[in-house]
């Protein structure tokens, strides 16, 4: 919870902004307290609105010498507009849940690894520029693949030559109260055994009210590019709300995605499940 709060304290983390720069430095320093193996992957990108940026993917590795590895992913940037709000639609959002929550869980997992090393190697990879995608009512020319720019770059330019992980787990919007996670279609297609493993573990731990054995339609997220470009079978743990029009968290891409949208019990259910899965490998 503190790790979400800390990210939000920098304000919106939109690529090239002051909050983004400050948060990147803090993330790097924080990860360095847990492992010396840190890589900052930088690359020039052009977003759908014709702006040029340098993206930053932040990578923390544990036991880099081990060939038996898994990868954990989240995006650390936040949305540059509140395109699903009714007010201030052109202002950036805090992204406490959408961005902040996944990063926070992975920071806590890194902290745990520094206390007790898992049997396998683990790479924590924070993608930049996931949320700078083109809105539906954009006046700019249609740009294909305008979302998930950091994961597209990493997937095409892996941080180590011939890098491979047995599987990957992406966290996105994992902090809201009473959030539910379902078997998202891309995850099911590329990594069904991993989904089953994680959901069963959650169920055994008593988190079955969060991790539900039901299908959800496909969601274009970072895991799509990881699966299709790298071939690392990767699942997405992402909130699915059947009650909303877009099936995302009700505060998705609005200014209400702030600390009031974050719940410690949800964060715990996701983090504890992942730790149990990893320490049992």
Position 127 scores a pLDDT of 99
- CA gap 124, 101 in Å, rounded: 14
Alpha helices by DSSP H, 10-94: 18-32
Query: What is the reported pLDDT for 92?
Result: 98
DSSP code for 16: T
> Which segments of the chain are extended strands (E)?
38-46, 52-62, 69-75, 121-127, 168-172, 181-184, 211-216, 234-238
pLDDT of residue 88: 97
What's the pLDDT at 243? 94
Mean pLDDT by 10 residues, the chain (281 residues): 98 98 98 98 98 98 98 98 97 98 99 98 98 96 97 98 97 98 98 98 98 97 98 98 95 98 98 98 98
Provide the CB-side half-sphere exposure for 49 (13 A, CA): 10
pLDDT of residue 129: 98
Cβ atoms 106, 74 nearer than 8 A: yes
The CA distance from 95 to 82, in Å, is: 10
* Alpha carbon of residue 246 to chain centroid: 19
Residue 122 tokens read as: 């683990």
The answer to whether residues 3 and 25 touch, using CB atoms and an 8 Å cutoff, is no
Q: Which of 162, 159, 123, 157 is nearest to 45 (CA)?
A: 157
Question: CA-CA distance, 67 to 19, in Å (whole number)?
Answer: 36
pTM for the structure as a whole = 0.98
């Amino acid at each position: 919870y503190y790790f979400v709060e800390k990210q939000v304290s920098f304000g919106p983390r939109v690529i090239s902004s002051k909050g983004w720069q400050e948060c990147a430095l803090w993330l790097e320093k924080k990860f360095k307290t847990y492992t010396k193996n840190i890589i900052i992957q930088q690359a020039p990108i052009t977003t759908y609105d014709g702006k040029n940026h340098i993206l930053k993917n932040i990578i923390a590795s544990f036991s880099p010498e081990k060939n038996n590895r898994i990868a954990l992913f989240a995006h650390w940037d936040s949305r540059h507009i509140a395109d699903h709000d009714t007010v201030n639609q052109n202002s950036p959002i805090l992204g406490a849940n959408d961005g902040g929550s996944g990063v926070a869980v992975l920071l806590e997992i890194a902290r745990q690894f520094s206390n007790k090393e898992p049997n396998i190697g683990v790479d924590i990879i924070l993608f930049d520029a996931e949320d700078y995608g083109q809105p539906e009512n954009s006046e700019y020319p249609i740009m294909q693949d305008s979302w998930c720019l950091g994961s597209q770059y990493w997937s095409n330019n892996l941080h180590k030559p011939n890098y491979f992980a047995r599987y990957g787990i992406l966290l996105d919007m994992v902090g809201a109260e009473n959030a539910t996670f379902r078997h998202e279609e891309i995850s099911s297609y590329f990594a069904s055994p991993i989904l089953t493993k994680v959901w069963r573990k959650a169920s055994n731990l008593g988190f079955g009210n969060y991790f539900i054995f039901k299908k959800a339609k496909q969601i274009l997220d970072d895991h799509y590019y990881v699966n299709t470009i790298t071939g690392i079978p990767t699942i997405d743990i992402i909130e699915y709300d059947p009650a909303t029009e877009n099936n995302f968290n009700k505060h998705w891409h609005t200014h209400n995605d702030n600390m009031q949208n974050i719940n410690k019990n949800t964060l715990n259910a996701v983090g504890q499940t992942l730790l149990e899965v990893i320490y049992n490998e």
